Structure formats: structure tokens, C-alpha cells
Chain A
Amino acid sequence: MVSGAVFIHGSWWVENTRFMDRRPTFSHLRCRECGREYPKEAIHVCEFDFGPLEAAYDYNAVKEILSREVISQRTRSMWRYRELLPIDGQPSVGLHTGFTPLVRAKRLAERLGVRELYIKNDAVNHPTLSFKDRVVSVALTRARELGMDTVACASTGNLANSVAANAAAAGLRSFVLIPSDLEPSKIVNSLVFGTNVIGIQGAYDQVNRLCSEIAGKYGWGFVNVNLRPYYAEGSKTMGFEIIEQLGWQLPQHTVVCMASGSLLTKVHKAYQEFIKAGLVDATPASIYGAQASGCSPIVTAIKSGTDVVRPVPKPRTIAKSLSIGTPADGYYAIRTMQDTGGTAEDASDAEIIDAIKLLAETEGIFAETAGGVTVACARKLIESGRIPRDESIVLCITGYGLKTQEAITEHVGAPALIQPSLREFEALIEPHTPSTLN
């Protein structure tokens, strides 16, 4: 009986793969504000109200193709959900990206005093150790479909690393524009791929503004400007994976760090799309946003009870990857948190450092500063009772700790130094560990 079922599912998979080739699921772009429809080109804002354009799908077609069985038989990468991604053909960039571990974090759960805690660990995403590999894989696949040969981005670091690496592997020319004061590791992690790195003497928001002017002039594929509708959708795969890895159910609480707020809105969109596609039951799933206190425009709006995001002119925090003073998706992030029963919290630099160490010491996961923000804010949300202790909680860790090691170097101590002698070794450890030989 079981093998019969597997055979039937196998037939379904073959049948539906052929079907997918005939019937596109990605239909058009649509303005999130007014609903006007646009063709699937390299455009990102509505001509009528500047609202962001978003990919729209034929969910009936998706429903006919995707089932839990079809998905589970595919390669373990983010592309196993490709009918819900905005490309026309087959993926061609970042084929090994995604399907990162969802770690049951028992030791951290014990420390935080919660029953069921998971870490979605994009610190080990391929190829550049951050969730940005998801968005870039989609953006560059689409850039190729649109016939572009040059790609670019404005970045706080992680996006630059990913554009540089994926463009190198795809044979595309690339330019990455970054604030010149970024962490040295993030600069090296772009330069090594042979990309054109341009440091801008200004804050990220100024870099972004310059990029939007360049994108209009040169016709390059700027992943977070004119390719944004495609790029942003890549983040959904983090949400799809969480559901599948939880055994096809929604987590009751998800904590996501916020820069522009895009990832948070897309994790929610992923949850909604899997419900629409009949892949998961619609159960309550609250989403919470985390920012560093030194740049927390979205959290400040939530705490003030408004959906008007006041920009932060000069972000000051060790979490540089979240240092976006003018968050483009802030409004939608606020609505998402409010609609799902979630809320937002911010954390100081000291709390971020403590949280990085806590995650590392309990789960063996070294997160970058943005991950420290997520853990620190989750801790505050739990301690204040805003996230219940007896329900399922997922923390989204978005990047690897070696990228921002400067932030914690002075807070992790130094190696003990001894001569190569047993006597010195025993003198060092005996106060802590009695020898079993005695």
C-alpha cells in the first residue's frame, strides 16, 4: 500500500513537471498600492502612485502542479518551490541555494524558558552565508531571462557579497555599491569575486539613492532597484522551507530582523501562499520584527502606534547590515505584524553582543550582528510575555558571524597562553576540572 502510494506520487511528479513546462504560474507584476497590472519587465514602481510592484501568480495553476509529494521529491534547494517564484523558465543561477537547516534549539530554549524553539539557519546558506543568496538567485536568473549582461546592487554588505559571487559564477559583469565604512570582512568577501566594488562616502540611504539614478541611466540590472519585484520574492523561500521543515505546519511565532522590512513581509507572504495552494492548514502565525536600537524606524513606529515610519538620518549600531534609515517596506512590515498579532522590539549593541554569544554557546551557531538582533529581541519579547513560552517559535538567522567578527572580537576573551608543558597545562585547568587520573 505504501509503495503503491509512492508510485502514484512519482507519476504525479512526472506528469506535473511536464504540465508546468506548458503552463506558466508567474503571470504579471502588480502594484501593491493600487493593483494596476504591469508586464514582467525590469521595472519596480507603479507609474501612477510609486507603489512597489510585486509578482503575481496564477494560484490555480500553482495548485494543480504543487503538492507536498511533488515538492518533497525535488532537489533540496530553494528552487523546489519554483512555481511560486517569478521566473519564466528554469533557474540558471544559485542552483544550490537554500534548504538551510531548521535547527531544534533545545539548549537555547531552556535558557530562554520556552518549550519549542527553532533556528532557521541561513548563516550557512550557499554560496555566501546569508539569506541574500536567495534573493540574488532569483534576481540574476530573471536578469538573464531579460537579456541583461551587467548586474549591480546597493548594499550594506551581504547583498554585495551575494551579487558578486553569483554574478561571477554566472559569467555576468557586476558592480556593487556600498557605504565605504562597512566591515572589512564584507568588503573582502565582495572583492575576492572580481566584482567592481565602489565605496560611497555616505550612508546606505545615500548609496541607494545614487543607485536608483544609475539604474535609470545605464539600464543595468540593479537587483534591489529595477529587479526588485523579482529579487524580493526570493525571500519567500525561507518561509516555504520553515513550513516544510516543521512537517507542513506554520510556526505560531516567527521572529525576523528588519532592515527595509522586506524579508518579514515575504516570510508572511510565503505562509499565505502555502495556505492558498492548499499545502498547509491556515493556523495562527504571528510575525515579529527586530531592529537594533541605533536604527529602529519600524520598531519606533510600532511602539508609537502609527504606521508612519520616520526615517533615521544617521544610523548608529554595530548591526550595519540592518542600518537602513529609510526602510522601503516599513509600512507593509508594520501592517504584517499588526495583522498577524505580532509586534516589534529593538535591542542595544550590548544586548546584541550578548545574544550572539548566547546563540553560539547554546547551539553552536555563530550569527552575524543581525542574528544577534533577532535573538536579543526574541528574548525581550519572551521575557515580557509578548511571545508565549509554550508555543512554537522560529528565529530567522540571516547571516554568518565571521562577516561581522569585528563587532565581538573584544567581547569573547582571548586564548589562555602556556608553555608546551603538562605541568603548566594542569596548573591551568585543575582549578576548573579535577583530573580523572587521580
Chain B
Amino acid sequence: MSVPVRIPTPLRKLTYNQEVVQVEGANVREVLDSLESAFPGLKERICDEHNNIRRFVNVFVNDEDIRFLQESDTPVKTGDEVSIVPAIAGG
């Protein structure tokens, strides 16, 4: 299924300045793989060489941080929105 993914400003050069892109995937891992197919180079910015989401990247499905869900295995379904947000300082 297709879900919208919100792209943070630092990565928009790779998405031709699109804030939101639509990609296929049944879970976060597949969504990230689809992102890479559509916008080559994007996944390596988000994931390290071991395919883990980088330390300073937060990924949300709707309003939930995927670290509180099932990490990259977190399922996504029609109507969900995925957001990629850089970690920011507090407070």
C-alpha cells in the first residue's frame, strides 16, 4: 500500500524539494527501501552501514516514535503517515 512520508528539510534536495512523498510499503523497513528506489541516496542518509536507523534520526508512524513500537518492523497501513525528523536539542 502507499503511504505519505514527510521529508525533513535537510533531505529535500534528494526529493526535488517535495515535503511529502508517496511510497509503497507494509512496514517502515519497506517504506525506507521504496524511498531509496524512488530517490536514490536517501536511505543511506537515514540508515547506517548495518541498515539500522541512525542515532540522530527519529522516525514516526503518525504520532508514535517507532522506538516505542516495533522499530523498523512497525507496520504501516492506508491512512498512516510516516515522518522522518532529525533529533533536536532541548528545552
Interface check B91, CB cutoff 8 A: yes
- A228 in complex: contacting residue of B10, B12, B45, B88, CB < 8 Å: B88
How far does the alpha carbon of A211 sit from the alpha carbon of B83 in the complex, in Å?
Answer: 13
Residues A260 and B8 in contact, CB atoms below 8 Å apart: no
How far does the alpha carbon of A326 sit from the alpha carbon of B11 in the complex, in Å?
Answer: 21
Residues A49 and B88 in contact, CB atoms below 8 Å apart: no
B39-61 at interface with A (beta carbon < 8 Å) = 44-46, 48, 54-58, 60
Residues A155 and B91 in contact, CB atoms below 8 Å apart: yes
Residues B56 and A231 in contact, CB atoms below 8 Å apart: no
Q: Which residue of B lies closest to A43 (CB)?
A: B10
What would be 15 A-B contacts, judged by CB atoms less than 8 Å apart?
Answer: A33-B55, A44-B86, A45-B8, A47-B11, A50-B87, A202-B63, A205-B65, A209-B58, A209-B60, A215-B9, A228-B88, A260-B89, A326-B58, A328-B56, A331-B55
Q: Which residue of A lies closest to B56 (CB)?
A: A50
How far does the alpha carbon of A120 sit from the alpha carbon of B29 in the complex, in Å?
Answer: 47
- Count of residues in B whose CB is under 8 Å from the partner chain: 30
Please indicate the chain B residues that have their CB under 8 angstroms from the CB of A49 in the complex. 45, 48, 54, 56
Residues B8 and A212 in contact, CB atoms below 8 Å apart: yes
Binding site for A on B (CB under 8 A): 6, 8-13, 19, 44-46, 48, 54-58, 60, 63, 65, 67-68, 83, 85-91
Number of A-B contacts (CB under 8 A): 103
- B90 in complex: contacting residue of A52, A213, A324, CB < 8 Å: A324
Interface check A91, CB cutoff 8 A: no
- A328 in complex: contacting residue of B9, B19, B48, B88, CB < 8 Å: B88
- A209 in complex: contacting residue of B19, B83, B89, CB < 8 Å: B83
Interface check A101, CB cutoff 8 A: no
Interface check A262, CB cutoff 8 A: yes
Residues A262 and B89 in contact, CB atoms below 8 Å apart: yes
- Count of residues in A whose CB is under 8 Å from the partner chain: 47
How far does the alpha carbon of A333 sit from the alpha carbon of B11 in the complex, in Å?
Answer: 26
Q: How far is the CB of B57 from chain A (nearest CB, A)?
A: 5
Q: Which residue of A lies closest to B6 (CB)?
A: A213
Please indicate the chain B residues that have their CB under 8 angstroms from the CB of A166 in the complex. none
How far does the alpha carbon of A158 sit from the alpha carbon of B65 in the complex, in Å?
Answer: 25
Q: Which residue of A lies closest to B65 (CB)?
A: A311
Please indicate the chain B residues that have their CB under 8 angstroms from the CB of A44 in the complex. 86, 88
Please indicate the chain A residues that have their CB under 8 angstroms from the CB of B55 in the complex. 33, 331
Q: A50-B86, A206-B63, A209-B83 are in contact. Are A45 and B91 (CB under 8 A)?
A: no
- A216 in complex: contacting residue of B9, B46, B90, CB < 8 Å: B9
Q: Which residue of B lies closest to A50 (CB)?
A: B56
Q: Which residue of B lies closest to A320 (CB)?
A: B91
A2-52 at interface with B (beta carbon < 8 Å) = 33, 43-52
How far does the alpha carbon of A202 sit from the alpha carbon of B60 in the complex, in Å?
Answer: 15
Residues B67 and A224 in contact, CB atoms below 8 Å apart: no
Q: How far is the CB of B1 from chain A (nearest CB, A)?
A: 24
Interface check A116, CB cutoff 8 A: no
Please indicate the chain B residues that have their CB under 8 angstroms from the CB of A155 in the complex. 91
Determine which residue in B44, B63, B83, B87 has the highest number of CB atoms from chain A within 10 A of its CB, and name it: B87
A195-215 at interface with B (beta carbon < 8 Å) = 202, 204-206, 208-209, 211-213, 215
Please indicate the chain B residues that have their CB under 8 angstroms from the CB of A124 in the complex. none
Residues B68 and A154 in contact, CB atoms below 8 Å apart: no
Please indicate the chain B residues that have their CB under 8 angstroms from the CB of A262 in the complex. 89-90
How far does the alpha carbon of A328 sit from the alpha carbon of B67 in the complex, in Å?
Answer: 14
Please indicate the chain A residues that have their CB under 8 angstroms from the CB of B56 in the complex. 33, 45, 49-52, 328
